[in-house]
Amino acid sequence: MSKKAFVALVTCFNDDETINYAATRAQVRRQVAAGNNIMCAGTNGDFSALTYDEKVRLTEEVVDEVGGEVDVIVNAGMPATFETLKLARTFDRIGVTGIAVITPFFIACTQDGLIRHFSTVADAVQTPVYLYDIPARTQNHIEPETARVLSAHGNIAGIKDSGGAKETLEAYLAVGKSVEGFEVYSGPDHLVLWSLQNGAAGCISGLGNAMPDVLSGILNAFNSGDIAEAERQQAIYTAFRTDLYALGFPPALVKRALYLTDPSVGASRQPALLPDREQDEKIAVILQRYGLMAA
């Protein structure tokens, strides 16, 4: 089975920070043209700064724009099971391919609490549910044994690992190898090829917003058996990641890099990154280095 690349799509904003749905649709078309699938309302999509109604409309717009050409996964995760359920049930009716559920944030959870949380959501919808682990942002981590327990649920289809540690990804991959149908998607951009070679179903990448063709190039080369080309494309992807992420918070930097090449995407709706001329100049140099912006 061919491996899949998903891009954790940015959400585009107008100058007044309302969502620019037309620009977001343009980003969807750009990714579809590159051959990438879509994850919306994720970390790179400013999900924590979106209202319930905005998430619903955003998902409707993305699904409509895709028109069935590629898969769409949407993140329904919130701190409370109640609101996560409300979102998941709505997404279930919209017709997405999968519903990702990020671990609850702000609230410290036990592993038993996480099992109950994810199982409750998976029980309530028909759409396959994907666990979403990103402990650096949520402070809650899905232990590999917890993933193994949850993998037995008939409607939990896999996990997205954004922890960044190869050891954790290896442990999730071991679960995937032992449980038929449980898919593992890697989040760290420097581990795309490694994860594919070690049994991942694919990747869900934020960096693909800025480098969609390189991301799809890794997947296409791997799927066709051209490992040398996959390694070449991964080397470019890893080097770009290293250079860009050295400047600060990765999702904000990806959005800013994209903004410098296409201002229609707008700024982030987060307080973490304010416009900074000196930083913009550094980002521009990096973009020029990789042929993403004219000198």
Q: Indicate which residues carry an active-site annotation.
A: 132, 160
For residue 163, the model assigns a pLDDT of 87
Segments in the chain below pLDDT 50 = none
Q: Are 70 and 32 in contact (CB under 8 A)?
A: yes
For residue 275, the model assigns a pLDDT of 67
Q: Are 85 and 120 in contact (CB under 8 A)?
A: yes
Helices and strands, number each (H, E), in the chain: 12, 8
CB atoms within 10 A of CB 80: 12
Rounded CA-CA distance 141/134 in Å is: 7
* Exposed e or buried b per residue across 157-180, where buried means at least 16 C-beta atoms within 10 angstroms of its C-beta: bbbbbbbbebebbbbbbbbbeebe
- Give the three-class secondary structure for 219: helix
For residue 1, the model assigns a pLDDT of 81
Rounded CA-CA distance 151/25 in Å is: 34
pLDDT digits (tens, 9 = 90+) for 139-167: 999 999 999 999 999 999 999 999 878 99
Environment class of 53 (CB within 10 Å of its CB; exposed 0-12, middle 13-18, buried 19+): exposed
Q: What one-character-per-residue DSSP string does 135-186 give?
A: HHHHS----HHHHHHHHTSTTEEEEEE-S--HHHHHHHHHHHHHSTT-EEEE
For residue 295, the model assigns a pLDDT of 76
For residue 75, the model assigns a pLDDT of 98
- Could you tell me which residues come within 8 angstroms of residue 168 by beta carbon, excluding any fewer than 6 positions away? 133, 144, 161
